[in-house]
Structures are given as C-alpha cells and as structure tokens.
A and B are shown apart, each in its own frame.
Chain A
C-alpha cells in the first residue's frame, strides 16, 4: 500500500508569518510531487509541482523535495488569511506517474 502522510493539523499561523507544511511518502520510486489547496466545500486546486530534488519557488510558495528522505514540504511566505485552507500533498506512483496518491491534508488557518 503506497502511502502519503501529512500532519492533519490544524496548523495556525499569524498573518505575515511563514507556514510550513510537510509530507512523507512510502513509494521510493515516485518521481512527481504536487501540492493542492482545497477550500472548504470546494475542489482541490493545483498550486505547485516539483520533480527534482531541491527547492522550487513560485511567488509566495516554495516547494522542497528530498527524495533520499522521501520528504516533500511547502512553505508559504507572508501568509494571508486567504491562504486558510486544507493543503493536500499528492505523489505520482512509480508504476504510473499519472496515478496520484493523496495525503489526508493539513488544515491551515492564518490568523489576522
């Protein structure tokens, strides 16, 4: 059973702070990694993807990947109340990168 683990939270940070979300995965052969944001009652929305070890930055978001440790993280700088949502980590299967396994999500609350 290929697993993706996330701390369910809730994680609360003050406005303007850095939010750090973490994810570990069990499929050592996985090559593709994604972060989705899901607002309450809405569908998941892709915000970042990363395929190579290291950091990838996009605006206020930075994804970090360490394949040796089987660890993916998402940093949100200058957090805003509008960032309050559940963040889902998704990992592509080593058998078929098309098949994504999702973690259970981390609920983030940014306090004004």
Chain B
C-alpha cells in the first residue's frame, strides 16, 4: 500500500498567485481530510469529504480557499490568491468507515513570499 500521496512536497510562491495542492487517498478509504499545521495554531481541520462529497467545510479560513474531490482517488485544495499568512504545512489524511483513525500523507510545505 502506497499510503496517502501528496504533491508537491514543497511549494514556494509569490503573494497573489494561485496554489493547488493535490492528494491521492489510500485505495478503499471513503473519508478524506485536509488539515493545516502551523506553530501558532497546531493542526486545524479545513474540510473533509465522505464518498467524494464535502461534509464540513467550516474550517476553511475564507473564500480564497476551495477544495474538490472529483473522484475517489483524487482531491485538490486551491488557494487563490495566496497570502503570506497561508504559509503552513498542509496535510491530507484518509480513513475508512469503521475505523476512526486517520492515515496522514507526508504533507505539502507551502511558503508564500
């Protein structure tokens, strides 16, 4: 099992640019989560999906953030336009019905300059 796969591992972009983060969950997992981790705020849940449908996006900080899951094997988190305060590590995680524990991907370290 390849685990949860995220890309890119690192992203450096200029303020105002669009950023797209990608995630492939573990095959067979029907839940997908996007988290953001910073020193100040720790791990924060942004949004999660069940069977490709967004269930709760109340953690999305503002309209600049959007997430999609067009199929069971792919999800994107987009920030447009990006701002320096968006700099963080963004994690994708997946889980399967009957098991509440998550498996995290390796994360994307985003730096907005």
Contact = CB atoms under 8 A, between A and B. Distances in A.
Interface of A: 32, 34, 42-46, 49, 88, 92, 96-105
A44 B105 contact: no
Interface residues of B, number: 18
A97 B95 CA distance: 12
Contacts of B50: 98
A92 B43 CA distance: 14
Given A49-B100, A105-B42, A98 B105 contact: no
B76 interface: no
The main secondary structure of chain B at its interface with chain A is strand
Interface in B48-78: 48, 50, 55-56
A99 to B, nearest CB: 6
The main secondary structure of chain A at its interface with chain B is loop
Given A32-B100, A49-B100, A105-B42, A98 B106 contact: no
A14 B19 CA distance: 44
Nearest to A6: B42
Nearest to B99: A49
Contacts of A104: 42
Contacts of A96: 55-56
Contact of B101 (A42, A49, A103, A105): A49
Closest 7 CB pairs of A and B: A102-B43, A43-B104, A104-B42, A46-B101, A32-B100, A44-B104, A43-B107
